[in-house]
Amino acid sequence: MHQPPTFEVDGTAIRKARMRGGHEISELAKAAGISRRYLCHLENGTRRRMRPSRYAALRAALNSTDDRLLAAPRTTTPEE
């Protein structure tokens, strides 16, 4: 089954950006068009992936960038 493209986000970075911007969770969720519960799950790391449209809306609501909100790429260690 084909998985739609998603963005892996950094929940801690989302929380910090929200707090820096002075947003309450409910306020930011509404501005981004997502549920408060979904935003809480992103911030606490329960959810790490977002669909492009939701991610774009959250990024815009936070007035932030991919560099700040996306999780660092995971590195794999070559097997020895």
CA-nearest of 11, 4, 2 to 62 is: 11
Q: Do the Cβ atoms of 71 and 12 come closer than 8 Å?
A: no
Six-digit token pair at 14?
């989302």
Which helix (H) or strand (E) segment holds residue 53: the answer is helix 52-62
Q: What is the mean pLDDT of each run of 10 residues along the chain (80 residues)?
A: 85 97 97 98 97 96 96 70
Q: What is the pLDDT of residue 1?
A: 65
Q: What is the pLDDT of residue 72?
A: 86
What span, in angstroms and rounded, lies between the C-alpha atoms of 53 and 25? 19
